[in-house]
Structure 1
Amino acid sequence: MSNDPGTVPSPESRIHGCLLGGALGDSLGYAVEFDPIDEIRRRFGAAGLRDFSALGGGTHFSDDTQMTLYTVDGIVEALEWANSGVGADANACVWLAYLRWLDTQGVPLPDSAPQPQPRWIDGQDVLRHRRDPGNACLSGLATGEMGTVFRPVNPDSKGCGTVMRSAPFGLVPHIPADSVYKLSTDAASLTHGHPSARQSAGVFSLLIHLLVQGASVPEAAQAALAHVLADPEAAPELHERLEAAIRLAGQAGPGTVLSPEELVRELGEGWVAEEALAVGLYAVLATAPGTQGDGAPDPADHFRAAIAVAINHSGDSDSTGSIAGNILGAYYGTACLPADWLAALEAPEVIRSMAGQLVAVTSG
């Protein structure tokens, strides 16, 4: 799975592709997030939900896209300060962004919490709807305490709310991979204290970083696994799920992609961090051009096929779909995004605006 040298996507295309791709996967998956696979098949047929056209009145994106965009906003604010010659704590900027997101969910902050200054993103009405936010994200922020690795909030929580929002850390250019990983794990600690929640987010951001640097998806996946293997403090369940996703995808061929039941049995439902990462990554790797006996790669076909695998299972379909969409968009850029899906996407102008802000502060 490699980009043709003549069609290597630009950094701008990768940023837009990653954010829009994640929103597409999130939106399609959100329509079936709480449905078991039997109900998905009853509603949409034996192949499950495969296209926005099957939804009739359309669908919304979830808290996954909301928090991803607020992650972008925190990064943008930190880089705005840096570009003006003022040092800023990047994780504090992300924390303040998440506190502003918490306000959009109708959760009051305690008096001990800082009162962040409003920014452009806060005025976008589409981001002020409550779309089934994760309990740990809400409760961790509502403490008013800035969680860290050493002073964790929700120390036993390892929900996928860390992974699904963490792609933007991998989109920041000109910083080393270790810094990407630290930025991501520090931000995960703001809401989740379990090592797997933090490390899964860091590995996902590292994977996105490697794709933006020009690696293929299999190369990036192997490098991410190597990072986990080299960490003596790595959560064993993260290693097990990541290794299983890569191994099982390597066994895929025409007609041999895991069934939804097999997917859940082998990799999990995606409600926790390492499972969501594994399912999203497996969906991308197992449906890559060449594995299905097809010819020349069509990025949009790959996108459609991968999202179908990522969302059609009994589990957290919006998060696994979002992760798969982030990966494909970072790899192919906007070339993989189906035009008819983009036409059905909620508030694409808000997502494009946030992508544009990240491009502006990283391309100077």
Structure 2
Amino acid sequence: MSSNHGIPAPTLPSRIRGSLLGGALGDALGYAVVSDSIADIRERFGAQGLAGFEDLQGPCHFSDDTQLTLYTVDGLVEALEWANSGVGADVNACLWLAYLRWLATQGEDAGPSAPAPQPRWIDGNEVLRQRRHPDKVCISGLASGEMGTAMRPVNPEARGAGTVMRSAPFGLVPHITPDAVYKLSADAAALTHGHPAARQSAGIFSLLIHRLVSGEELRDAADGVTAHAATLVDVAPELPQRLEAALRLAEKADVGPEELLQVLGGGWTAEEALAVALYAVLATLPAEAADAQPAVHFRRALAVAVNHSGGSDTAGSLAGNILGALYGEACLPAEWLEALEAPEVIRGMADQLVKVTTGEG
């Protein structure tokens, strides 16, 4: 069986592992330059910027983007474990409890009104207890001790990228409808961020991952979710505007980091981060499917995603999630995986998701 982008179609387990590992690789690459302007990046790495892990010295740490993505996996796994045993569970409550456990790893307290979640395997991994500039809005929303909902979100004006950065796993769960994928993701975003653009961006990103995992071609999936974003009830207009701008920009030649920043923004808000990542993966997509070399596409897209004056870690993370879902593990550069921090923890969480969704493992 061949995929429609010129390589053998990856299995679902490969897409799950590829998306989670790819996101961590992009996160770690971007985290190395997250506080740097493009001028700073060029001064450190030359005119072409940061090309890959081979340009870095020392450990390649990932950020809270990967930490929270893995805790999203854990919340979904717990809900699916209950479902597989015949017991219905409130998925958003499982996610909230998972995020509260992440909050505790960051040395923060949700207060006496919040429940005390039971520890799970993920909590025993020291790498996830490191404080890597955690998203302030995620911290404040969870530290409120209140479970936000779509009707009553905490931080109602918050629109930062802390929602999209953790939302790939919703698209990795097979056998659920696109509407369910969107709702699960947007509802989980409301646990910390209340602005419609933040919640809708998370949902649309999860739908993009879902379409790719279902075997859709990248351009078709990007066009599809961009069109869908414009039809959302009470849509935040910033979201379809940014996505449409990303599609247009990806058709241009010789777009530099300065133009990227001017047209799409710095990736600090949810819709900007998604737009930058979408642009990065589309602008580097080979013109002919037969020319697709997954690892080459991955390297080129990640370089675009992180070499700018904005939120390099989140843009890199999202781009890695997207390409891992598209190609599976085939796109992950082996030498980058060798340099990545704690890949066994990421694989461990991926394998848990594979097991509860497919029975494999």
Q: Distance in 2 between matches of 1:74 and 1:241?
A: 30
Q: In the alignment, which residue of structure 2 is the partner of 1:275? A: 272
Counterpart of 1:2, as a letter, is N
Q: CA deviation at 1:223?
A: 1.0
In 2, are the aligned partners of 1:189 and 1:198 still within 8 Å (CA)?
yes
- Structure 1 position 116 matched with structure 2 position 117: yes
Q: In the alignment, which residue of structure 1 is the partner of 2:348? A: 353
Structure 1: gaps of 5 or more residues: none
Q: In the alignment, which residue of structure 1 is the partner of 2:263? A: 266
Q: In the alignment, which residue of structure 2 is the partner of 1:100? A: 101
Counterpart of 2:240, as a letter, is H
Find the residue that maps to 1:88 and give its secondary structure: coil
In 2, are the aligned partners of 1:188 and 1:198 still within 8 Å (CA)?
yes
Q: For each residue in 1:164-200, what CA deviation from the matched residue of structure 2 results, as whole angstroms up to 9, or x when unmatched?
A: 1000000000000000000000000000000000000
Q: CA deviation at 1:289?
A: 1.2
Q: CA deviation at 1:3?
A: 2.7
Q: In the alignment, which residue of structure 1 is the partner of 2:327? A: 332
- Structure 1 position 309 matched with structure 2 position 310: no
In 1, are the aligned partners of 2:69 and 2:168 still within 8 Å (CA)?
yes
Q: In the alignment, which residue of structure 2 is the partner of 1:86? A: 87
- 1:2-41 alignment to 2 at 5 Å? 2-4=4-6, 7-41=8-42
Q: For each residue in 1:81-134, what CA deviation from the matched residue of structure 2 results, as whole angstroms up to 9, or x when unmatched?
A: 000000000000000000000000000120000000000000000000000111
Q: Once the two structures are aligned, what percentage of the paired residues are identical?
A: 68
With the length of structure 2 as denominator, give the TM-score of the two structures. 0.97
Q: For each residue in 1:10-56, what CA deviation from the matched residue of structure 2 results, as whole angstroms up to 9, or x when unmatched?
A: 00000000000000000000000010110000011001111111111
Q: CA deviation at 1:2?
A: 3.3
Find the residue that maps to 2:184 and give its secondary structure: helix
Q: CA deviation at 1:295?
A: 6.8
In 2, are the aligned partners of 1:52 and 1:58 still within 8 Å (CA)?
no
Q: For each residue in 1:58-88, what CA deviation from the matched residue of structure 2 results, as whole angstroms up to 9, or x when unmatched?
A: 3200000000000000000000000000000
Find the residue that maps to 1:208 and give its secondary structure: helix
Q: CA RMSD in A?
A: 1.2
- Structure 1 position 296 matched with structure 2 position 291: yes
Runs of 4+ in 1 over 3 A off after TM superposition: none
In 1, are the aligned partners of 2:5 and 2:292 still within 8 Å (CA)?
no
Q: Distance in 1 between matches of 2:215 and 2:290?
A: 22
- 1:110-189 alignment to 2 at 5 Å? 110-189=111-190
With the length of structure 1 as denominator, give the TM-score of the two structures. 0.96
Q: Distance in 2 between matches of 1:323 and 1:334?
A: 16
Count of aligned residue pairs for this structure pair: 357
In 1, are the aligned partners of 2:213 and 2:325 still within 8 Å (CA)?
yes
Q: For each residue in 1:238-267, what CA deviation from the matched residue of structure 2 results, as whole angstroms up to 9, or x when unmatched?
A: 011000001111234xxx2x2010100010
In 1, are the aligned partners of 2:295 and 2:332 still within 8 Å (CA)?
yes
Q: Distance in 2 between matches of 1:295 and 1:84?
A: 44
In 2, are the aligned partners of 1:65 and 1:165 still within 8 Å (CA)?
yes
Q: Distance in 2 between matches of 1:143 and 1:271?
A: 23
Q: In the alignment, which residue of structure 2 is the partner of 1:46? A: 47
Counterpart of 1:314, as a letter, is S
- Structure 1 position 344 matched with structure 2 position 345: no
Q: CA deviation at 1:217?
A: 1.0
Find the residue that maps to 1:7 and give its secondary structure: coil
Range that drifts further, 229-238 or 10-19: 229-238
Q: Distance in 1 between matches of 2:282 and 2:171?
A: 19
